[in-house]
Structure 1
Amino acid sequence: MTYNYAYTREKNAQVILYLLKAHNIRHVIASPGTTNTALVSSMQQDPHFIMYSSVDERSAAYMACGLAAELNEPVVISCTGATASRNYLPGMTEAFYRKLPVLAITSMQAFSRVGHHVAQVIDRSSMPKDAVTLSVELPIVKDDEDVWDCEIKVNKAILELKRHGGGPVHINLPTTYSKPYDVKQLPDYRVIERISEQDRFPELGTPDHRKIAVFVGAHKTWSKAETEALESFCEQYGAVVFCDHSSGYQGKNRLLFALAAAQTMLDKSPCQPDVLIHIGEVTGDYATLGMAGRQVWRVSEDGEIRDTFRKLRYVFAMPEQAFFAHYAGQAAGQAPVNAGYYEQCRQQLQAIRDNLPELPLSNAWLASQLAHRIPAGSTIHFGILNSLRCWNFYELPASVTAASNVGGFGIDGGLSSLIGASLANPNKLYFAVIGDLAFFYDLNVLGNRHAGNNLRILLVNNGKGTEFRQYNHHAAYFGEGAEEFVAASGHFGCKSPTLVKNFATDLGYEYLAATSKEEFAVHYQRFIAPEVGGKSIIFEVFTDSELESQALESIQNIASNPAGKTKEMAKKLLGPKGIETVKRLLKR
């Protein structure tokens, strides 16, 4: 029979169709219905899919169990709304306990109709724990954000069918009953694959994979073997390692690249990699996140899909050391893939460092004065956002380790984490750089009786959440109006010169203070004295949020080029809505 229609226009269904084909999943058992018409009718005319019909959904699910077990391949089942999906549960339970790869795609009307007595709409948001290994809900696609959400969820669902021995998976697919069916060819959607140590590894170092970089998020302490594996990899591929202070990596080809990456007027395309290998966890180095390049490979033992850069292609479910050792061994004895790439990136960074401007009294200025002077062998903790960002612009001594609460990324436990870490080694110095809101939020821990004499706390007190008053922050739209509630100014004594002093000294801390660069010069050497003394020290430096913003703007505009200037001017003229309109037009 010849059909005169093609695929559905509904993009969430298109993503499913494309990725089922990309992952070579062919067998489908379809039950009749209206909400799954878009999906089933599109499958019906595509010769890739081998279709079977079952009126009874309970029978369909058990048929899928038998077929999946016999073929040792995933099998799709599709049904409509109302109670159809409920009848899948016995068969899905069977699949769960036998680890059979059955993919149940339950179609329905928009999720917003759940709970409003709309006919044939039931709540599928909660699934029994022993019926599926994963359940995802796809959005009705309205924009690129929804497309990305669909791509990630469908890839994740398909990969879960075989993960940890396999098992059944559920996708909730809403429909808009769109017509006509006139899409002659499915658009390309992103395919993500999971690679284990037993699988065939994709090629690296090919002509379109010449520039290779490693991005390290917050990372546990590196072992010697892990460092050597990454160093060997870098030697073979000429790879760059983009780091921030929380990454902890001190090996070869390391670049603390935030200063260059943050330049708003700099053409960074020469340093953009073809492949970015993503390791570690959450990062606070927002600037270097923009260095993703064309394709991202994620390496982590957890094997989870974490699409931080929205360019994920592979997830390598293995230790980092195994990944780097494999590829280094594969290229052993060959000339480096791209020996000049690291040097190109290093030179771009150095050119910015050679032109650092004079900054006003601010967190960034304090970093410029202290970072290289932190005593060898110390540990330093950074408050999130402004403190971490500013200090990422400057190198620490190689023997200094760093940490920041970038996991949950809140302001609530910086001092407590510092003191907890300091208990591990009372004879080692532990520094902190923290803003006033985060300091006062966690103030009570300073009175903990276990706090020792090995603490050095730099309190940058600007009287508010200065992040919200930065020149480039979203809240800058409100100007002074952001002060009262967004930036939370006026709390904690309004930069009182005695509040922290009295509290600290009463608890037995040594207290230092500065309101100018001159006063800072008087005290800073005491603060960074390399010996653990009789008391811990709190050094309170009072800054102004306007000067903080000026410092950040100055340091992020060291470099300039015509292309960068044109881009920034366009952003200012068009605004966010105008930029989105231009993006949509360019995609047509």
Structure 2
Amino acid sequence: MISTKKHIQQLAAILLAKEIDDIIISPGSRNGPLIHTFAGSNRFNCRNIVDERSAAYFALGLAQAKQKPVVIVCSSGTASLNYAPAIAEAFYLQVPLIVLTADRPDYWIDQAESQCIRQEKIYQNFIKKEISLPLGESEKELWFAARQINACLNATLGEAPAPVHINIPLEEPLHDLLDEKLPSVKIIETAETQQLVTETALDQLTATFNNANKVLVLAGQQIPNPGLENQLSKLVSKTGAVVLKEHLGNLDDLNFCSSIDTLMAAMLTDRLENFQPDLLISFGGQFVSKSLKQFLRKHKPVNHWHLSLANEHFDTYQSLTNVIKQDATDFFGQLLPRVSGKKQNYLRRWKDKEQQVNKLCDDFIQQAAYSDLRVFDQLRTAIPENSVIHLGNSSPVRYGLICQPVKNAHYFGNRGTSGIDGPLSTAVGFASESEKINTIILGDLSFFYDSNALWNNYLGSNLRVIVINNRGGNIFGLIKGPGDSPAFQEHFFTENKFKAEGLARTFELDYFMAENQAELSDILGDFYSPKQAKAALLEIFTDAEVNTTVFRELFKYVKQ
């Protein structure tokens, strides 16, 4: 049984024709025609999540796991506002979400009608395209709506994925049904094209590359891409270029450099111009490291190329000279045969420094007091190989990037907007589609903030939630400024007296706990045991003051 609303029937049919069939529904009445049609047609993978904010983040994670668009459906009014944080995150991560918001007819807007707000252009700063369907169902109105829907869906499926919004005004009756199949529809496709740098431009870029003695490549946050990793490996081997990446760049080649924050700290005792690049090439999403940004802004390259299919002019380091509208894999594939070999001095300098820093870090961690740093180092040895690891924002992502990566693991994190409001929901969405063990590591404030992520029926036995409970926002003790304020304890650190155990029991997760190094060592084997048949939560308690001391001492130590 499907809704009698012809616009909804047509929308559903076009989605199916474009092989978009994952629907995350938040219950309501105004979106009843959408619910009836998606669920009643038996053609869609429908999931129900009550909390719209959590539902949108769940969809974000699911879209990352499946590498295809996911639809989110909500009722009218403030339900639509709750989608906004995840839509912003998806926009900056370039993840395709299709946002369907039910609405009242426009003649009821601002007329004291219930569940009625101004919904058109509600996400205008964070979407690629927005349309509003007509109320009428004449042949011309249906033709017009179909054309708009096709254009909207093609936008989210394009070379630079992003969320799109379809607002759907609906008149009563909302729940009349038909026992019919979805209608036949006309599909408008977009032909795939390949972006190539012209021969003239490529000659100029090659000359610039060959004239640069120090080439630094920044691989930002991205999904795993073996083809790109292969091209970068060849570039390093042939030219001595340095590839700098964080775990979220999902590159494993040992000839690439990571450990960025500790590297930057150790370099302060060297001649920084030895590490200053002549040519900087960047691609992918953001870097977490603030010290890297500060270094490159102060020690600018002569040339900075940014590779972006979306033509983004990211001048993060205030030195941008070229935007190259091309996929990174294709670009390096074109460039590699043309570039000349170079001496390996620049690469050797970076790798020698990294080896020195990693040795210092390992030595320090082994003798450090029980703290967040020790915990993260222990976790990396316990998490199974070939896992998926989701790093929560604030201190977890920073600790996670200081420690060496888990072997053959893929790393994800909500670093588009870097908020603490949705990492758990995103991880749950991803894990629901993944066959691998998925571990999300987050702080206590972030966990409680996003605890509705566990309020659904899609928690699989592959989900592992690790809550680092240092009883507040310990990140504000690590960064400069807040820790010196009289308002620190109450309004920055925000002391937390609660434990996660109650919520774990409420949502029927197996609960584990550790309050010291010995307990953590004992419990991790059980937590990651193949016999663990349910989603599980491990709460690790640490002391915030000790965490801050150990964190700061680490950076003093590597500056030797």
Scaled by the length of structure 1, what TM-score is found?
Answer: 0.57
Q: Which residue of 2 aligns with 1:473?
A: 480
Give the letter aligned to residue 517 of structure 2: K
1:227 equivalenced with 2:229 (yes/no): yes
Q: Which residue of 2 aligns with 1:541?
A: 540
- 1:375 paired residue among 374, 384, 395: 384
Q: Which residue of 2 aligns with 1:183?
A: none
Give the letter aligned to residue 221 of structure 2: A
Offset at 1:355?
2.0
Offset at 1:504?
0.8
| SS of residue matched to 2:538 | strand
Q: Following the alignment from structure 2 to structure 1, what is the Cα–Cα distance between the partners of residues 254 and 541?
A: 38
Is the Cα contact below 8 Å between 1:264 and 1:557 reproduced in 2? no
| SS of residue matched to 1:214 | strand
Offset at 1:535?
1.4
Offset at 1:474?
2.1
- 1:255 paired residue among 254, 257, 270: 257
Q: Following the alignment from structure 2 to structure 1, what is the Cα–Cα distance between the partners of residues 291 and 484?
A: 21
Q: Which residue of 1 aligns with 2:359?
A: 354
1:435 equivalenced with 2:437 (yes/no): no
| SS of residue matched to 2:558 | coil
The 1:288–1:342 alpha-carbon spacing in structure 2 relative to 1, beyond 3 Å, is same
State percent identity of aligned pairs: 22
Q: C-alpha offsets along residues 197-253 of structure 1, whole Å, 9 cap, x if unaligned?
A: 12513345667611111111111231x332222222222221111111110112362
Q: Following the alignment from structure 1 to structure 2, what is the Cα–Cα distance between the partners of residues 384 and 208?
A: 40
Stretch moving more, 312-321 or 506-515: 506-515
Give the letter aligned to residue 251 of structure 1: D
Is the Cα contact below 8 Å between 1:234 and 1:252 reproduced in 2? no
The 1:318–1:207 alpha-carbon spacing in structure 2 relative to 1, beyond 3 Å, is closer
Report the aligned-residue RMSD.
2.3
Count of residue correspondences: 354
Offset at 1:326?
2.3
Q: Following the alignment from structure 2 to structure 1, what is the Cα–Cα distance between the partners of residues 215 and 268?
A: 24
1:405 equivalenced with 2:414 (yes/no): yes
1:323 equivalenced with 2:324 (yes/no): no
Q: Which residue of 1 aligns with 2:466?
A: 458
Is the Cα contact below 8 Å between 1:372 and 1:396 reproduced in 2? no
Q: Which residue of 1 aligns with 2:424?
A: 415
| SS of residue matched to 2:519 | helix
1:511 equivalenced with 2:520 (yes/no): no
Which structure 2 residue ranges, 5 or more long, are not aligned?
1-194
The 1:396–1:252 alpha-carbon spacing in structure 2 relative to 1, beyond 3 Å, is closer
Q: Following the alignment from structure 1 to structure 2, what is the Cα–Cα distance between the partners of residues 532 and 248?
A: 29
| SS of residue matched to 2:257 | strand
Q: Following the alignment from structure 1 to structure 2, what is the Cα–Cα distance between the partners of residues 550 and 438?
A: 22
| SS of residue matched to 2:310 | coil
- 2:286 paired residue among 282, 289, 294: 282
| SS of residue matched to 1:432 | strand
Q: C-alpha offsets along residues 525-580 of structure 1, whole Å, 9 cap, x if unaligned?
A: 22333x3731122111111221121121122122336xxxxxxxxxxxxxxxxxxx
Offset at 1:339?
1.6
| SS of residue matched to 1:254 | coil
Give the letter aligned to residue 522 of structure 2: V
| SS of residue matched to 2:306 | strand
Q: How does 1:23-172 map to 2 (within 5 A)?
A: none
Q: How does 1:198-237 map to 2 (within 5 A)?
A: 198=198, 199-201=200-202, 202-204=205-207, 209-222=212-225, 224-237=226-239
Scaled by the length of structure 2, what TM-score is found?
Answer: 0.60
Q: Following the alignment from structure 1 to structure 2, what is the Cα–Cα distance between the partners of residues 315 and 196?
A: 13
Q: Following the alignment from structure 1 to structure 2, what is the Cα–Cα distance between the partners of residues 350 and 311?
A: 29
Higher relative contact order (CA 8 A, sep 6+): 2
Is the Cα contact below 8 Å between 2:222 and 2:250 reproduced in 1? yes
Give the letter aligned to residue 544 of structure 2: S
Offset at 1:456?
1.1
Offset at 1:349?
1.1
Q: Which residue of 1 aligns with 2:38?
A: none
| SS of residue matched to 1:315 | strand
Offset at 1:265?
4.6
Is the Cα contact below 8 Å between 2:224 and 2:410 reproduced in 1? no
Structure number with greater Rg is 1
Q: C-alpha offsets along residues 319-351 of structure 1, whole Å, 9 cap, x if unaligned?
A: 1122212221112xx4x2232322221111111
Which structure 1 residue ranges, 5 or more long, are not aligned?
1-194, 562-588
Is the Cα contact below 8 Å between 1:454 and 1:532 reproduced in 2? no
Is the Cα contact below 8 Å between 1:361 and 1:517 reproduced in 2? yes
Give the letter aligned to residue 281 of structure 1: G
Q: C-alpha offsets along residues 64-102 of structure 1, whole Å, 9 cap, x if unaligned?
A: xxxxxxxxxxxxxxxxxxxxxxxxxxxxxxxxxxxxxxx
Q: Following the alignment from structure 2 to structure 1, what is the Cα–Cα distance between the partners of residues 209 and 246?
A: 28
